[in-house]
Structure 1
Amino acid sequence: MITAIERLRIPLLLLAFGLLFLVAGADPSAAKPPLGTSGWAPGDLGLTLGSKAVTILLFIAYGSGALAVLIGLLRPRLKHRWVVWVVILAALMLWTAPMGSGDHTNYAAYGRIAIQGGDPYVQSPHDWHGGLDPITASVQPPWQETPSIYGPFATALMAVSSWIGGDNLRQTVWVWQIFIIAAWLAMRFVLLRLAVGDRAQGRVDVLWTFNPVLFGVLVLGAHVDVIAGVFACAALLLARREPFYAGLCVGAAISTKVTYGVVALGIVWAWRAAVLRHPTWVGRDAPRTLGERLRWLVRPISSAVGARRSVLRLIGGALLVIAPCYVVAGPNVLHQLGAAGGSFSYATPAAPLWRGLRHVLPEWAVTTVVFTLAIAGMIALAWVLQRVIARLDLGRRIPDATTRQAVTTTWALSTAYVLCAPYSLPWYDTLTWALLPLLVELAWDSVLVFRYVFMALAYVPGRVLELSPGVKDWTLGFRQNVAPWAGWISLIALVLLALRVRRPRRPAASGATRLRRLTRS
């Protein structure tokens, strides 16, 4: 029965990827903003698709892609390296233009402002050169008046793209696509180095490389999260042996998108756990008062010379990247990071609560209540996920205990964030899907696939322009009335799963073993 179902995976993958590349290769549509003349970059197929056709094709692509991933999870063994298919996907991505949002036009605009001597953290695309610049004028609602909220390392890459692309928007975006596909390939390399065994490496290809939902949202969307994510995962790979180089990667991740700094907390927490496993710490009395517990959080690191040295090297490496990036960017980059907070998105579980409270509370009170509950939910969910991982030893395919702890902690924190944050978009899930393959399979794999496909569908076709009235009503209705409840179902399922799991029982000892134990005693 399983073998018969597994035969469906390849046709479903071909269908999903085929439809995604069809939409991405077609003329500008409700999923694809126009990029002007192609110049020396690849052009379009000359196929025009209406907003209804694009929506139907993407719904079929993401639905069939999710089914293919679920089938692949049944027996995810890496029988082949699939290098040819990886190269084909990379080549096809570079032969198409980004879709699913207009973020790549924002990136081009911010890079244009930076390379021409402006400050993208103060000047919006609409303000630059009076809105007449050939690159910045391409930014579409609602981002025309919004200065950059991305880190200075990302802005530097955007500036390089603009410098190479010149006055041609399509060429600028194509250079950015090269950065994205390089990061996607590098991520696969890093994950295969972290994963040990055919099954773990097979999960990498099922959940990361050949995941049409993730590929369509993240890679074909050309989102900066791919770049931030690969630096974060590289830091996890390097942390045990090369803390300084891990710090460089942490600095690059933070300077690309600040939320990816969560990896630093995962690494430091893993070093703390390594100290607590040392024989000199085992058996010590647990802290009792609140003050003792707070000191206990940092005492293992501060007391152990090796751990303290590793943390200092990590910080030194991170600052070596962060300091020059933020100095060159100027103080306005920090202002924009603060301005990015306090937002809501319609497809999150917090959205129904937000909309309901607005009828009975003032806006400031709604923001305070929802964000307080969201933070509490993140902390609680991260704790639950980490407890399940520890109880079932789900990271056991990672041989090194410190790397294992860093990976699982980072995964739990980042996953709790994207599931509970009031403002979360499908491409924010990069670390969740990058690190999930490194864990032993569990029922929450299917729960997360279910939740993610609904998040992806909530932002189909991806633009607010070029929508027919019927497609506009359908898109907003799905985003506001379906996706948030899929998020709630996923959260409840994860909690129920956590309540049901038990630590695996050890096999009963044989009679001879029991006799030897009695003899020793």
Structure 2
Amino acid sequence: MSRVASDATPGADRATGEAATLTRRGLLTVAFVLLLVVGLALPHAAAPDLGPRGWAPGTILPITLTPAAVTATLWTAYALGAAGVVLALRQGMRALSTPVVGGLALAAALTTPFGSADHVNYAAYGRILALGDDPWLVSPVSWRGDADPVVSAVESPWREEPSVYGPFATLLHGLGSLVGGDNLRETVWLWQLVVIASWLAVRWCLRRLLPGHEGRVDALWTANPLVFATGVLGAHVDMLAAAFVVGAVWAVQRYAGVGGAVLAGTFGGLALSSKFTYAVVLLAILLALRSRRVARGAVMIGVAALVAGVLHLWAGPHVFDQVGRSAKAVALSSPWRMLLEVGGGGPTVRSVISVLAALAAVGFAVCLARLTTPRGDGEGARALRWVVVLGGGYALAAAYSLPWYDVLVWSALPAVVSGVGVARVGLVELALLARLTVMSFAYTPGRVLGMTPGVEAVTMTVRKEVAPVLLLAVWAGVVVAALRARPRAPGVPNRPIG
């Protein structure tokens, strides 16, 4: 009888594994389909109307989603997607085939961006630049009588705000505006192509930086519905900056000597000139190169400074005005919001929060350093691990943060090994997935306009009351896990916790 049971075990395990694989594929497929339905539908509470399509793709699905329907659809997609990512990490998954990846890219190119109206802001600032004015100095509502067909489409609360985006990203927006002209949909679609190309470029670089781990790359990046939704379908500039970050790391590993340092410095300069916080890649690479590579590091920093310096000189003296003004902002979903409200919300308490957030970022970086090692001993894996440590510390602690700010961390996450937690999935992956899921829920539909009072009440409750508590729990989990972690050799995960 025992022999029969023993003989049956492999078959039962195989059946269980196949069922789990089917479940994971089903969860991810449904999540992607729901996201694409939102992107292919008529304008709604999550996606602003971009006007006449011109030669850009128009609406594929002639269906109208109510504010409640679009919110429920996105929340369902995020929940199913998060569960699918957990299963993918637990089971391991094969790399996606080229036709599947190409199909996702094509489908994304047919959608209208959703989750915010940031893409309209990009088009507006690019239009202002293309027509000879300074997008870092003038606000959309004050530009040319608020009568331009592209710039006047900017939505609250950004109509009164000059650009906060870096000079290189804005240069691309300006070039897109030269082609799209006064057609908003055409201008936005050209930017979508840049974002999709950036998403594919990150995958291409990661597969070469992490040979043998192509399935993990797709589990965390390509086939991750939350990254796809917030980064690609949201058409955010963070995707472009992340591509330069991973490209810089790839250049360091691919080309030894001065050539690799020059290319890495160029990509690093373009990354920080797209979004300033992405300058973290330069520090990450320096830490990965270690002291015996001082000359390469110096060349990289020098080239990055040259590239960024030229771009910022071209942009003019006002390029950092908005960054300075927004430095003390506190997001509604942030745990720091509790302290802001208790303290009365004045400038003094905001200054205190800024200091505490900076200290917390250092603390979380220390925690992530204790919980992770690089997946291999190459310079690329080491650099990406430092991107996770430094970028993840900042993302967790920042007083003002939005879901797409996490794109940087997820672009590097495949390169780390972390202690094993619930469901045999890495603690760091679980913590960051929990954060991204909570943030994605909190910023649905994502626009200020277009919601009914009932939907607004529900979504704002999630954003202002539920999300801060859940994010505080993520903080606690990371700290406790780090305190319990034991030192280990590179590449060896911690023993299971809990």
Partner of 1:351: 337
Post-superposition CA distance 1:173-207 (Å, at most 9, x none): 0000000000000010011111132xx32111011
Give 3-state SS (helix, strand or coil) of 1:7's partner.
helix
2:319 is equivalent to residue 336 of structure 1: no
How far residue 77 of structure 1 moved from its aligned partner, in angstroms, is 3.8
1:81–1:25 distance in 2 versus 1, CA, 3 Å: closer
Question: What does residue range 128-207 of structure 1 map to in structure 2 within 5 Å?
Answer: 128-197=143-212, 200-207=213-220
Residue 434 of structure 1: which of 402, 411, 417 is its match? 411
Please give the alpha-carbon distance, in whole angstroms, between the structure 1 residues aligned to 2:432 and 2:386.
Answer: 17
2:287 is equivalent to residue 269 of structure 1: yes
Please give the alpha-carbon distance, in whole angstroms, between the structure 2 residues aligned to 1:349 and 1:244.
Answer: 40
2:77 is equivalent to residue 61 of structure 1: yes
How far residue 5 of structure 1 moved from its aligned partner, in angstroms, is 2.4
Partner of 2:138: 123
How far residue 161 of structure 1 moved from its aligned partner, in angstroms, is 1.1
Give 3-state SS (helix, strand or coil) of 1:205's partner.
helix
How far residue 310 of structure 1 moved from its aligned partner, in angstroms, is 1.4
Give 3-state SS (helix, strand or coil) of 1:440's partner.
strand
How far residue 502 of structure 1 moved from its aligned partner, in angstroms, is 2.1
How far residue 2 of structure 1 moved from its aligned partner, in angstroms, is 4.6
Post-superposition CA distance 1:381-423 (Å, at most 9, x none): 101211232xxxx31x3341x3333222221010011111000
Post-superposition CA distance 1:46-103 (Å, at most 9, x none): 211110111111111111111111110112243x442111111110111111000000
TM-score, normalised to structure 2's length?
Answer: 0.90
Residue 478 of structure 2: which of 482, 494, 500 is its match? 494
Partner of 1:423: 400
Question: What does residue range 395-414 of structure 1 map to in structure 2 within 5 Å?
Answer: 395=374, 397-400=375-378, 402-414=379-391
Give 3-state SS (helix, strand or coil) of 2:141's partner.
coil
2:53 is equivalent to residue 48 of structure 1: no
Please give the alpha-carbon distance, in whole angstroms, between the structure 2 residues aligned to 1:213 and 1:483.
Answer: 16
Paired residues, number: 462
Contact 2:210 2:381 (8 Å CA) reproduced = no
Partner of 2:367: 384
2:266 is equivalent to residue 248 of structure 1: yes
Please give the alpha-carbon distance, in whole angstroms, between the structure 1 residues aligned to 2:201 and 2:296.
Answer: 25
Question: What does residue range 21-40 of structure 1 map to in structure 2 within 5 Å?
Answer: 21-40=36-55
Please give the alpha-carbon distance, in whole angstroms, between the structure 1 residues aligned to 2:458 and 2:409.
Answer: 28
Contact 1:349 1:420 (8 Å CA) reproduced = no
Contact 2:371 2:428 (8 Å CA) reproduced = no
Partner of 1:373: 356
Please give the alpha-carbon distance, in whole angstroms, between the structure 2 residues aligned to 1:145 and 1:226.
Answer: 25
Partner of 1:97: 112
Equivalent AA in structure 2 for residue 432 of structure 1: V
Give 3-state SS (helix, strand or coil) of 2:140's partner.
coil
How far residue 264 of structure 1 moved from its aligned partner, in angstroms, is 0.8
Please give the alpha-carbon distance, in whole angstroms, between the structure 1 residues aligned to 2:90 and 2:291.
Answer: 34
Equivalent AA in structure 1 for residue 357 of structure 2: A
Post-superposition CA distance 1:196-253 (Å, at most 9, x none): 32xx321110110011111111110000000001101111122252111100001000
How far residue 447 of structure 1 moved from its aligned partner, in angstroms, is 2.3
How far residue 464 of structure 1 moved from its aligned partner, in angstroms, is 1.2
Partner of 1:483: 467
Post-superposition CA distance 1:362-383 (Å, at most 9, x none): 6122112211111111111101
TM-score, normalised to structure 1's length?
Answer: 0.86
Question: What does residue range 229-244 of structure 1 map to in structure 2 within 5 Å?
Answer: 229-240=242-253, 241=256, 242-244=260-262
How far residue 270 of structure 1 moved from its aligned partner, in angstroms, is 2.4
Partner of 2:91: 75
Residue 26 of structure 2: which of 11, 23, 27 is its match? 11
Equivalent AA in structure 1 for residue 485 of structure 2: V
1:433–1:56 distance in 2 versus 1, CA, 3 Å: same
Contact 1:194 1:398 (8 Å CA) reproduced = no
1:326–1:503 distance in 2 versus 1, CA, 3 Å: closer
Post-superposition CA distance 1:123-169 (Å, at most 9, x none): 11111111000000000100001000111000100001111111110
In terms of Rg, which structure is larger?
1
1:378–1:475 distance in 2 versus 1, CA, 3 Å: same
Aligned-CA RMSD value: 1.6
Equivalent AA in structure 1 for residue 480 of structure 2: L
Contact 2:221 2:227 (8 Å CA) reproduced = yes
Partner of 1:303: none
Partner of 1:220: 233
Give 3-state SS (helix, strand or coil) of 2:91's partner.
coil
Equivalent AA in structure 2 for residue 96 of structure 1: T
How far residue 444 of structure 1 moved from its aligned partner, in angstroms, is 2.5
How far residue 505 of structure 1 moved from its aligned partner, in angstroms, is 8.9
Question: What does residue range 281-296 of structure 1 map to in structure 2 within 5 Å?
Answer: none
Equivalent AA in structure 1 for residue 192 of structure 2: Q
Give 3-state SS (helix, strand or coil) of 2:320's partner.
helix
Q: Runs of 5+ in structure 1 lacking a partner?
A: 276-305, 507-521
Please give the alpha-carbon distance, in whole angstroms, between the structure 2 residues aligned to 1:504 and 1:329.
Answer: 47
